[in-house]
């Protein structure tokens, strides 16, 4: 529709240059012009304090906080190849009826929800790949392809358990192939494999636990923001982002971290026992240090250095087969595999609040932070 025949579409949404409604101008009346104040006036923004807090989050959050942000938004938004997708197997190389299945673990490992970025992979997704490999009679061995700095403790432990069961119950050998960064939780899920092969430039190790969360008490005090909490016990609100973190809070959290750390040491010692690594040696390595592939091999954390093809050859050898078709698991969406198909985005305010809550929730990670 146009403003008169041959005219241009009407312009709307410009209150600063349009006179307010009223009677027509009389003789000698001056046309209306916006005053400097009216011209500069911005619409009111309720909840400005939330914007301040989110600004603090954006400026001050660390690598772990950013990772939790992706996970929190994923749980709300459900984009990408989420849990609703169908597992598919794509042929990569080789030939024959026997198969070597490649299970990719690429990105930070999160517990649940969908994925917002390819930098986040869920435990559910990886476990479904492992389940598919266990149930497929034509799959004779698995290559666990790890490019991950680790992630949430429980997510890593769930994958670790499935890798272990694949070996012991399904009797299918597993070769872990470490590429790029395969550290902390990335190594945790690899430890039970029959063989661990690392690319020569891989960064691995970083055996340990880190617990991080945001504390906004200083910013809240500065901007006059507070939250009223009614709790059933003296420590029910431990870690609350709106109150200072105390030495007593640290004493409460420390046993949790130490317990998860001991579990990590047990996992490494048990998984690498076949390589001659003792628990005492595993404990000595579990100080969080990142390691080169060569150093990890010298420390018995890695069996040998090699490429992806070397990992596939090792998997064939362990399975006792001379040739095999290499397949790689992936997903197609419920929308027929169309790229970019995704559920509607949530309201921006809801996503922001969910992200803020995720960043402020104390979580333990098997994670290599840089």
* 8 A C-beta contact, residue 61 and residue 55: no
Name the average pLDDT for the chain.
75
Read off the pLDDT of residues 216-237 as tens digits, 9 standing for 90 and up.
777 777 777 777 667 777 676 6
Phi and psi of 351, rounded to 5°?
-65, -40
Question: What is the pLDDT, as a whole number, of residue 211?
Answer: 80
Strand partners for 177: 145, 197
Domain residue ranges of the chain, discontinuous segments joined by +? 48-228+240-367
CA dihedral angle for residue 242, residue 247, residue 251, residue 253, rounded to 10 degrees: 30
Q: Has residue 84 got a pLDDT over 70?
A: no
pLDDT of residue 349: 47
Higher pLDDT, 349 or 172: 172
Residue pair 182/152 in contact by the 8 Å Cβ criterion:
no
Q: Examine the pLDDT at 173 and tell me if it is beyond 70.
A: yes
Average pLDDT over residues 254-259: 88
Lowest-confidence pick of 4-8, 322-326, 332-336? 4-8
d(CA 211, CA 220): 22
pLDDT value for 363:
63
Q: How many CB atoms lie within 10 A of CB 213?
A: 18
**287: helix, strand or coil:** coil
Q: What is the pLDDT of residue 118?
A: 47
Residue 207 has what pLDDT? 95
Burial 104-126 (b: 16+ CB within 10 A, else e): bbbbbbbbbbbbbeeebbbbbbb
**pTM greater than 0.85:** no
Asked if residues 103 and 91 have their Cβ atoms less than 8 Å apart, the reply is: no
Q: Order of strands, edge to edge, in the sheet holding 120-122? A: 120-122, 108-110, 150-152, 363-367, 210-212
48-228+240-367: CATH, from 3.10.110.10, 3.90.226.10, 3.55.50.30, 2.40.160.20: 3.90.226.10
* pLDDT at 120 (0 to 100): 85
**pLDDT above 50 for 273:** yes
- C-alpha span between 345 and 136 (Å, rounded): 36
236 is catalytic: yes
pLDDT value, residue 143: 98
Catalytic residue among 184, 190, 206, 333: 184
Average pLDDT on 13-39 reads 47
Cα–Cα distance for residue pair 310/202, rounded to 1 Å? 15
Distance CA 268, CA 205 (A): 10
Of residues 197 and 360, more confidently modeled: 197
Catalytic residue among 226, 236, 304, 350: 236
**pLDDT (0 to 100) of residue 241:** 65
Q: CA 76 to CA 115: how far, in whole Å?
A: 10
**164 in active site:** no
Q: Are the C-beta atoms of residues 177 and 143 closer than 8 Å to each other?
A: yes
Neighbouring C-alpha atoms within 13 Å toward the C-beta of 327: 23
194-209 pLDDT, tens per residue? 999 999 999 999 999 9
78 CB contacts (<8 Å, ≥6 apart)?
A: 84, 113, 114, 342, 343
What are 106-160's pLDDT values in tens digits? 999 998 654 444 478 999 999 999 999 999 999 999 999 999 999 999 999 999 9
């Amino acid at each position: 529709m146009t403003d008169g025949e041959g005219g241009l579409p009407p312009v709307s949404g410009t209150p600063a240059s349009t006179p307010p409604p009223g009677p027509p101008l009389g003789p000698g009346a001056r046309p209306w012009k916006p005053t400097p104040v009216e011209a500069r006036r911005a619409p009111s923004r309720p909840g400005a304090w939330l914007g301040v807090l989110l600004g603090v989050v954006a400026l001050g959050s660390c690598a772990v906080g950013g990772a939790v942000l992706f996970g929190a938004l994923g749980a709300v938004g459900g984009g990408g190849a989420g849990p609703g997708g169908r597992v598919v197997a794509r042929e990569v190389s080789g030939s024959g009826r026997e198969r070597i299945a490649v299970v990719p673990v690429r990105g930070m490992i999160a517990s649940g929800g969908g994925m917002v970025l390819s930098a986040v992979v869920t435990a559910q997704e990886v476990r479904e790949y492992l389940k598919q490999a266990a149930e497929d009679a034509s799959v004779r061995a698995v290559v666990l392809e790890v490019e991950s700095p680790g992630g949430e403790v429980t997510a890593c432990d769930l994958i670790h358990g499935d890798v272990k069961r694949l070996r012991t119950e399904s009797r299918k050998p597993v070769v872990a192939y470490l590429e790029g960064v395969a550290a902390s939780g990335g190594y945790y899920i690899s430890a039970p494999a029959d063989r661990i092969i690392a690319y020569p430039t891989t960064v691995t190790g970083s055996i340990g636990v880190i617990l991080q969360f945001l504390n906004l008490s200083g910013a809240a005090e500065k901007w006059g923001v507070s939250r009223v909490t009614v709790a059933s016990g003296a420590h029910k609100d431990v870690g609350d982002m709106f109150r200072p973190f105390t030495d007593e809070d640290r004493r409460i959290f420390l046993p949790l971290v130490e317990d998860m750390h001991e579990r990590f040491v047990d996992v490494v010692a048990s998984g690498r026992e076949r390589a001659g690594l003792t628990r005492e040696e595993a404990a000595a390595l579990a100080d969080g240090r990142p390691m080169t592939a060569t150093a990890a091999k010298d420390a018995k954390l890695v069996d040998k250095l090699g490429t992806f093809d070397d990992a596939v050859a090792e998997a064939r050898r362990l399975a006792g087969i001379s040739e095999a078709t290499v397949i790689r698991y992936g997903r197609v969406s419920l929308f027929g595999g169309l790229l970019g198909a995704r559920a509607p985005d949530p309201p921006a305010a809801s996503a922001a609040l969910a992200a803020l809550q995720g960043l402020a929730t104390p979580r333990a990670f098997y994670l290599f932070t840089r």
